[in-house]
Structure 1
Amino acid sequence: MFEDLKDLPPDGLLQLIKLYRDDSNPQKIDLGVGVYRDADGGTPVFRAVKKAEHRLHEVQDSKSYLGPEGDHEFVAALRPYIFGKNDGYGARLNGVQTPGGTGAVRLACETLASAGAKRVLLGTPSWPNHGPIIQATGMEPVLFDHADIKTQTLDFGALIDAMKAADKGDIVLLHGCCHNPTGIDYSADQWGEIASIVADRGLFPLIDLAYQGLGHGFEEDAEGLRKVIAAAPESMLAYSCDKNFGLYRERVGALYALSNTEAQAATLYSHLLSNARANWSMPPDHGAATVRVILSDDDFRAEWDAEVRDMRARLNRMRSALAEYQNVGDVDLAAVGRQNGLFSTLNLSKDQVMAMRGSHGIYMAASGRINVAGLNERNIPHFVEALRSIA
């Protein structure tokens, strides 16, 4: 059965975990794995999550299946954060719980492919799973340059050209905020231009929103995507609670789908449930239930919001601290201060990345992508000196 299978290369980021763990260098820095870290290098459980889990322990009376749609109240509780308190979409907008944002992207692509979609416009570099998911569901990724890493600038013209050359019904995949892996986002005016072209060309927006709240705030991080969704009669949005609730291992996500009419929405919803049933049958309960409890309690919600603000402030402090060093060789650290979220991709060759690892114990993706949360006031000088040594 398996004689013709060929070895596949190991996942580079997963390799970094072991390499970092086995490194005895006391100055080692982990900038690889994409989880939030506090100033001490930990990834703590949110205080609001702990309290919500305690309440669940007290009141939850069953571990029975949820159904393929997951937790209705969880999906409803997230909706105003994403689409606005009075989004006006009514029953045209439906949502289902998914196993993480990855599950949401997969469910979106499978459903779009089954509806006849053929092509997905995808800016590069992008989250490494985007391309494989698109291809695995039988669609073609149509690549364009999202950003120029050498100059640390957005290539907005490449997006506009790709959209204007696209056919009606083509999918355009957009990062809602805190672009992974570059941290380079669209401006408010650029979001408006994207919305206009989506409407004019009859394109279908698929928005991946994995870091809401970590850029400028919950409302600010949703302003652009709301313009695009308002301009398009149909769209989908994949959501992750990994980062902004710290629920990485619980796999908490949701997929929202907007249809032309309520009747079409009901039909589409039936297809979402059917595809979800075939993929994972029922989504896991605990993480989504925890989010639901937090968002339904004023005190828990306020504490969670404060914790996200603290995360965002720390990320921005690290970016500002790096930006003070301006340029180190060909690496524009000043640009890092203008970017958003967890990630930036530095202008480093693979050889330079390996030198940072081998000579200085600094671990990052081979692409030069760094997780800004791996930095703190104590290790930034070591990081910059390492950059200078390999420049």
Structure 2
Amino acid sequence: MLNNLSPQNPDPIMQLITLCREDPRETKIDLGVGVYKDGAGNTPVMRAIRAASKKVWDNETTKVYTGLPGDPAFGKAMRDLVLADSVEGSRVAAIATPGGTGAIRQAFELARKANPDVTVWTSNPTWPNHLAILKFMGLPNTEYAYFDEASCTVDFDAMMDSLQGVKAGDMVLLHGCCHNPTGANLTLEQFGTVADLIADKGALALVDIAYQGFGDGLEEDAAPTRLLASKLPEMLVAASCSKNFGVYRERVGCLMAISEDASITPNTQANMNYLNRIAFSFPPDHGARLVTTVLTDDALTADWKDELETVRLSMLGLRTQLSEELRQRTNSDRFDFIAQHRGMFSRIGATPEEVLKMREDFGIYMVSDSRMNIAGLNPTTVPLLAEAIAKSCK
């Protein structure tokens, strides 16, 4: 029977990793995979996570299952981190999931359970896995305009025009901060306008927040999600801890559902528990416990915030350096937007042919749509990238 399985296209980012690994050039630069790297090219374990690991090891007395939603303390810690006091805690149901991807998948499942006819609206472009999951699930998907390829900024007027087609019962997927793959974000005021439209349409917002703390700061990056939560009667939030806690391989995610009032929350929670049960029974706990330990210990929280801020400022510095290097090499402000983008990624507007030229001539490895991982750079490699861009992009 297995010989009936259809061949699968290889993941383009996984292909990039292989190609880069096999490239013998010492000057090659991997800007494909979305992980943070320090100046030495390593992805370190954060200090607070290392300390939390020891604390858990010293105090954990059992490996028995938690519950279907995971440890309630994790759900509360994530609610406080992402939503703060923007919504009453009694209106929020939460489940732990295997990574942010698991949270997204469970959000789609919950929306389909609530409305079998749901259409999911996603930005053009969006994280490719959003679209892959929707396609696999057979859920209808409509794209809304978002990114202006010429200016590499948000085309908000076109976005609002697109969203006029949203119907009651549809779901609109929004990136809470650090838009992936473009790095171009809505302003807080624009998020408010989108919230009003979603409320008027009777739709459901799903916020994917995978990079809180990587953009303008922990509180600043959460502000759009909190604004939406304060304005909308109900909402879903898929949060990932992979990037801001550096626990990539631990697969730590959380799905939160805000119900219209507290009386609905128990049933929402029961449905979310059920989705976990049929997908994987109990969610993984170790990574979630590390995150909870950090967020419930004042000293560890302070140290985590300090290191996260160092990471954020490092990426902003690389953005500024790259923008300035490109201004010098091109004698134009064409790439100034790179310094204005936020998060790990920027999409620089290069064609697939130009991306291929950079790979073949300069050993620069980025996704074919020209999305590059800023966190894959360091002050030494920025000039090399700037030279490649200047000589390859028309």
TM-score range, shorter chain: over 0.9
Shift of 1:263: 2.7
SS in 1 for 2:55: helix
**Partners of 1:71 and 1:137 in 2: CA distance:** 28
Closer, same or farther: CA 106–151 of 1 in aligned 2, 3 Å: same
Aligned 1:218-237 pairs, distance under 5 A:
218-237=218-237
| Letter aligned with residue 391 of structure 2 | S
Shift of 1:283: 1.1
* Aligned with 1:383 (options 378, 382, 385): 385
Shift of 1:138: 3.4
| Letter aligned with residue 97 of structure 1 | A
Query: Which residue of 2 is the match for residue 336 of structure 1?
Result: 338
Closer, same or farther: CA 98–142 of 1 in aligned 2, 3 Å: same
SS in 2 for 1:309: helix
**Contact 2:276 2:282 (C-alpha < 8 Å) held by counterparts:** yes
Query: Which residue of 1 is the match for residue 320 of structure 2?
Result: 320
**Contact 1:331 1:348 (C-alpha < 8 Å) held by counterparts:** no
Q: Show CA shifts across 1:48-101 (max 9, x none).
A: 1100000111000011111221111111112122112x3342321111111110
SS in 1 for 2:255: strand
Aligned 1:148-163 pairs, distance under 5 A:
148-163=148-163
Q: How high is the sequence identity, in percent, across the aligned residues?
A: 39
Query: Which residue of 2 is the match for residue 114 of structure 1?
Result: 113
**Partners of 1:343 and 1:212 in 2: CA distance:** 14
**Partners of 1:28 and 1:58 in 2: CA distance:** 42
**Contact 2:144 2:163 (C-alpha < 8 Å) held by counterparts:** no
Matched, 1:30 2:30: yes
Give unpaired runs (5+ residues) of structure 2.
none
**Range with bigger deviation, 1-10 or 241-250:** 1-10
**Contact 1:98 1:283 (C-alpha < 8 Å) held by counterparts:** yes
SS in 2 for 1:126: coil
Closer, same or farther: CA 358–51 of 1 in aligned 2, 3 Å: same
Query: Which residue of 2 is the match for residue 358 of structure 1?
Result: 360
Supply the RMSD in Å over aligned alpha carbons.
Answer: 1.6
**Partners of 1:373 and 1:16 in 2: CA distance:** 16
**Contact 2:176 2:224 (C-alpha < 8 Å) held by counterparts:** yes
**Contact 2:145 2:162 (C-alpha < 8 Å) held by counterparts:** no
Query: Which residue of 2 is the match for residue 83 of structure 1?
Result: 83
What TM-score comes out, normalization by structure 2 length? 0.96
Shift of 1:330: 10
**Partners of 1:381 and 1:138 in 2: CA distance:** 45
Query: Which residue of 1 is the match for residue 197 of structure 2?
Result: 197
**Partners of 2:12 and 2:39 in 1: CA distance:** 25
Shift of 1:2: 3.5
**Contact 2:177 2:215 (C-alpha < 8 Å) held by counterparts:** yes
**Partners of 2:166 and 2:80 in 1: CA distance:** 31
**Partners of 2:107 and 2:212 in 1: CA distance:** 19
| Letter aligned with residue 105 of structure 2 | R
**Partners of 2:41 and 2:206 in 1: CA distance:** 34
What TM-score comes out, normalization by structure 1 length? 0.96
**Contact 1:294 1:301 (C-alpha < 8 Å) held by counterparts:** yes
Aligned 1:124-135 pairs, distance under 5 A:
124-135=124-135
**Contact 2:122 2:142 (C-alpha < 8 Å) held by counterparts:** yes
SS in 2 for 1:214: coil
**Partners of 1:167 and 1:235 in 2: CA distance:** 16
**Partners of 2:252 and 2:331 in 1: CA distance:** 41
| Letter aligned with residue 125 of structure 2 | P
| Letter aligned with residue 112 of structure 1 | A
| Letter aligned with residue 101 of structure 2 | T
Shift of 1:159: 2.2
Shift of 1:114: 1.2
Shift of 1:328: 4.1
SS in 1 for 2:81: helix
**Range with bigger deviation, 337-346 or 116-125:** 116-125
Closer, same or farther: CA 9–332 of 1 in aligned 2, 3 Å: farther
Aligned length: 390
**Partners of 1:71 and 1:17 in 2: CA distance:** 35
**Contact 2:86 2:227 (C-alpha < 8 Å) held by counterparts:** no
Shift of 1:3: 4.0
Shift of 1:21: 1.3
**Partners of 2:195 and 2:219 in 1: CA distance:** 18
Closer, same or farther: CA 285–90 of 1 in aligned 2, 3 Å: closer
**Partners of 2:102 and 2:89 in 1: CA distance:** 24
**Partners of 1:341 and 1:328 in 2: CA distance:** 24
**Partners of 1:245 and 1:51 in 2: CA distance:** 13
| Letter aligned with residue 36 of structure 2 | Y
**Partners of 2:278 and 2:72 in 1: CA distance:** 19
Query: Which residue of 2 is the match for residue 246 of structure 1?
Result: 246
**Range with bigger deviation, 130-139 or 58-67:** 130-139
**Contact 1:95 1:256 (C-alpha < 8 Å) held by counterparts:** yes
Give unpaired runs (5+ residues) of structure 1.
none
